Structure 1
Amino acid sequence: PPSPPPPPPAAPRKPRALLVRLSRRGAAAPSLETPDASPVAAFLSRFAAAKLAAESALSACSRSSPEEDAQRSLSGAAAAIDDLDRLAAEASHLLPPYELRSALAAVSDLRAAHRLAASELRPKKSFSFRNKSKAPKNLPQDPPTLPPPPPPPEQPNPAVEAILPGLGFRGREGAILVKDLRASDEKDGDFTLADLVSCQVYLKGKYRALYIHRLRDCRVFVGAVFGSVLIEDVERCTFVMAAHQIRIHEARATDFYLRVRSRPIIEDCSGVRFAPHALNYKGIEEDLRDAGLEDDTGNWANVDDFKWLRAVQSPNWCLVPEEERLQTIDISDVLE
């Protein structure tokens, strides 16, 4: 008699086991909407909402026609971008590197869009003929050809004021500049240092955010920043400061003495060096404690170079040798 047909092959077990694992993982993974969502998920949700608000504010700029409305829209968009920046700064110590880079890139893109909107909304100069001076009598019939007039001086970037908000020192040379928020009526807020040459800057107290733009041969001492510090286009300077987050763009031959909650970020820099915080004044311990910077995390030596993706050490930065480091500088006697 013919033999019975062989039994059908058993179903492969690997897909079934994989489905079981995936179902268990999905059941165990917390939803972003639940109260048990991770801090990173909560940040991503808040950041997405703040980013949408900033994009809406930028969109409103393009619909503004009168000059006064345009400036109001630009200021509102700048404030929304600052809020987004501060949100990223406050969460920088708990974000994974990829999420932090993505957040900073989003803020950078929005600032670039804001600069473009500010340049497009700048009022155009109306054309007018120049008043011609009266020609003296007895001019020769064929006067010699005059050389062409020199080119007009380069106009400042119209968006600089829009993206560098708050109080600050701007356009100074060879000056000693002092600000103590504890001794003034201004509340803790944003502060700007822009277009300074060969200046000594002393900032005491607590600042919400600090913007530094185009400094040459300056020494800057800052008490506590409980948000972020953005440094752009500096050369041959020394910075001593404490902050939650510090980002440095286009710095050359500059030293940074830092106490920072998250890893410092550099981009398009060369010849920059880092060392531990070295600043003291009467009351600095209280300012650092109020800003959440009382502990030295050691991150001053953990620098991320966004333009250097290899596994070896970036050639754009190094540590200041111990024998060359500044001793602790006490600015208690420096007054406004």
Structure 2
Amino acid sequence: MAAVEKLGSGSSAENNASSVLERLKKRHQTRLEDAERRKEANDSLKPAEESAEYFESEFNRERAAVEALLLRAGPGASRAEAADALERATAELAALQKFVSDSVMFLTQYELSRAQAALQTLHAALNAAREEALPAKKFAFRARKKATGKTPAPPPSADATGGLQHVTTEAEQCEFSHLSDVNITKTAEEIERRDVLVTHLRNCRVTLLGAPSTLHLKDLRGCDVRCGPVRSSVFVDRVTDSTLALACQQLRTHNTTDTCVYLHVTCKAIVEDCARVGFAPFTWSYPGLERDYAASGLDQTRNNWSAVDDFNWLAADTPSPNWSVIPEEERRTTWDT
């Protein structure tokens, strides 16, 4: 009888072990399914604008619009019609240039090169259409008596490296890269209403005085970057062990680690694939900051510096481990100018 009871106990233990293994398997499967759902939800949160397919579709559509305007300015158009079409084509092309600049963060080098080549072709076609439809007026020789002696500027042309043709627009770029251990200062005259690209810097201090259109910070290490109010967005990618002082409408931060951000943002801040990023209110100041705020259109009374969305963390009831608020006693209070 005792032997029967012992056998029964063993059978019960086996059943319990089997039950535990089954529960563990189900729990593991549930975790896998939850992880997949989080990944799908994370992907769905990414704006449609941040995809190569969207970029190509929008770029081709806008390019076709510019080309159609250039055709309207061709043979058969009156001078007034040609002037109107060329003016609109110039504005559309400037907007397309800005679209490419704003998309540079998620484009491959091949995609960016193709877009730049297409822009160069459009610039050349626009210049040719303007010369044909609206030729420059010829001056009489008597005008030479009043000449100031200044040499007229040469027409826009492509540089020797095959870069974009230089066309003066409000979306013109200001770019500097591949520098180490230097202090860089740009004045309002150099960056006002421009797209500023700062890339591949090591142990540099960058001071941007003015109100640029957009700001791109990419591949920085050990850098100190301060920028005046940005009219639209700031894009940060692959920044490590740095300090940033930024004021903007929207901040998008990718692949960034061990970095402190002193922020004034009127819309929202977004982080993705980041770790150990700290946030605190924007405290940098310089002569002319109030003027630059007015020029940028940012609302100084509205600052969502601590309202950060982490696209890699979807648990609403638990704070993201990838970013934090910098404790007040650890925040930077003085800035060397």
Q: TM-score, normalised to structure 1's length?
A: 0.54
Alignment partner, residue 236 of structure 1: 241
Q: Is 1:282 paired with 2:281?
A: no
**Inter-partner Cα distance in structure 1 for 2:267 and 2:306:** 11
Quick one: structure 1 residues 223 and 121, their matched pair in 2 at CA, closer, same or farther if it must change by over 3 Å?
closer
Question: Quick check: 2:101–2:195 contact (8 Å CA) kept in 1?
Answer: no
**Inter-partner Cα distance in structure 1 for 2:230 and 2:269:** 14
**Inter-partner Cα distance in structure 2 for 1:216 and 1:59:** 40
Q: How far off its partner does 1:56 sit?
A: 2.9
1:1-336 aligned at under 5 Å gives the runs 53-56=58-61, 80=96, 82-83=98-99, 111-112=106-107, 115-118=109-112, 166-182=173-189, 184=190, 187-311=192-316, 312-329=318-335, 331=337
What amino acid is the match of 2:98? D
Quick one: structure 1 residues 269 and 224, their matched pair in 2 at CA, closer, same or farther if it must change by over 3 Å?
same
Quick one: structure 1 residues 79 and 234, their matched pair in 2 at CA, closer, same or farther if it must change by over 3 Å?
farther
**Inter-partner Cα distance in structure 2 for 1:193 and 1:296:** 28
Question: Quick check: 1:274–1:300 contact (8 Å CA) kept in 2?
Answer: yes
Quick one: structure 1 residues 287 and 330, their matched pair in 2 at CA, closer, same or farther if it must change by over 3 Å?
farther
**Inter-partner Cα distance in structure 2 for 1:284 and 1:261:** 17
Q: How far off its partner does 1:119 sit?
A: 6.2
What count of residue pairs does the alignment treat as equivalent?
A: 208
Quick one: structure 1 residues 115 and 301, their matched pair in 2 at CA, closer, same or farther if it must change by over 3 Å?
same
What amino acid is the match of 2:181? G
Q: How far off its partner does 1:263 sit?
A: 1.2
RMSD: 3.7
Question: Quick check: 1:220–1:240 contact (8 Å CA) kept in 2?
Answer: yes
Other structure's SS at 2:274 match: coil
Question: Quick check: 1:245–1:264 contact (8 Å CA) kept in 2?
Answer: yes
Q: How far off its partner does 1:227 sit?
A: 1.1
**Inter-partner Cα distance in structure 2 for 1:80 and 1:178:** 28
Other structure's SS at 1:207 match: coil
Quick one: structure 1 residues 79 and 250, their matched pair in 2 at CA, closer, same or farther if it must change by over 3 Å?
farther
Q: How far off its partner does 1:195 sit?
A: 0.4
Other structure's SS at 1:285 match: helix
Alignment partner, residue 96 of structure 1: none
